[in-house]
């Protein structure tokens, strides 16, 4: 029996138990199965980008980048953005995840980031493996994370990121 089938069966059992108790399991089956196969040290953004459901993409981003489930506040914050065009929504969510202190603290490495400014704004697609060397944008992101919040706010405004 393969691992994915085992995790699928576990999800079904837990979900049914929640339902019988009058509750609901707090994560979708696709996100749960993603969690079971996720490498805890890195995120392949290109592979993640193939998710077509925006809610599932949100759940998978939280699991992949922040190593936790999306809480109620996350859904309240991101649900209004489901109306954005698909690629714009995904780019914004990935940029937010990578720019977060949680992501930095957990030392997760994103690679094959098709939403990177180098790729989105006219550069060639930069695909690297998870063990690739830190490029200049990564160094700038580390510097950005160490700045006071008022400077970050100004820089986000200049970059057009809300």
Domain span at residue 111 reads 39-133
Residue 159 placed within a domain:
no
Whole-angstrom distance, CA of residue 21 vs CA of residue 80: 30
* Residue 8 sits in the same domain as residue 86: no
* Residue 48 sits in the same domain as residue 97: yes
Whole-number pLDDT of residue 149: 82
Residue 154 placed within a domain:
no
Report long-range pairs for 63-68 (Cβ below 8 Å, ≥24 apart): 63/31, 63/34, 63/35, 63/38, 64/34, 64/38, 64/108, 65/94, 65/97, 65/98, 65/100, 65/102, 65/103, 65/108, 65/110, 66/97, 66/100, 66/102, 66/103, 66/106, 67/40, 67/106, 67/108, 68/102
Whole-number pLDDT of residue 79: 92
Whole-number pLDDT of residue 133: 45
Whole-angstrom distance, CA of residue 32 vs CA of residue 18: 15
Whole-angstrom distance, CA of residue 30 vs CA of residue 22: 22
* Residue 10 sits in the same domain as residue 78: no
Residue 141 placed within a domain:
no
Q: Where are the beta strands (DSSP E) in 55-124?
A: 109-111
- Taking only the tens of pLDDT, the chain with its 162 residues reads 456 788 888 889 988 998 899 988 877 888 888 777 767 788 889 989 999 999 999 999 999 999 888 888 999 999 999 999 999 999 999 999 998 888 888 788 888 888 876 654 444 444 444 444 444 455 666 676 777 888 877 877 776 665
Backbone angles phi, psi at 71, to 5 degrees: -90, 180
Tokens of 123: 């550069």
* Residue 87 sits in the same domain as residue 50: yes
* Residue 29 sits in the same domain as residue 69: no
Whole-number pLDDT of residue 7: 84
Residue 138 placed within a domain:
no
Q: List Cβ neighbours of 1 (8 Å cut-off, separation of 6 or more).
A: none
Whole-angstrom distance, CA of residue 102 vs CA of residue 104: 5
């Amino acid at each position: 029996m393969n691992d994915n089938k085992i995790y699928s069966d576990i999800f079904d059992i837990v979900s049914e138990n929640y339902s019988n108790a009058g509750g609901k399991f707090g994560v979708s089956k696709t996100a749960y199965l993603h969690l079971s196969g996720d490498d805890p040290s890195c995120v392949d953004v290109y592979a993640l980008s193939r998710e077509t459901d925006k809610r599932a993409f949100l759940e998978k981003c939280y699991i992949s980048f922040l190593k936790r489930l999306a809480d109620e506040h996350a859904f309240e914050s991101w649900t209004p953005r489901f109306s954005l065009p698909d690629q714009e929504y995904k780019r914004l969510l990935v940029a937010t995840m990578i720019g977060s202190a949680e992501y930095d603290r957990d030392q997760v490495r994103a690679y094959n980031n098709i939403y990177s400014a180098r790729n989105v704004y006219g550069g060639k697609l930069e695909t690297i493996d998870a063990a690739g060397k830190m490029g200049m944008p990564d160094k700038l992101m580390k510097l950005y994370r160490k700045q006071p919040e008022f400077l970050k706010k100004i820089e986000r405004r200049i970059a057009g990121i809300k």
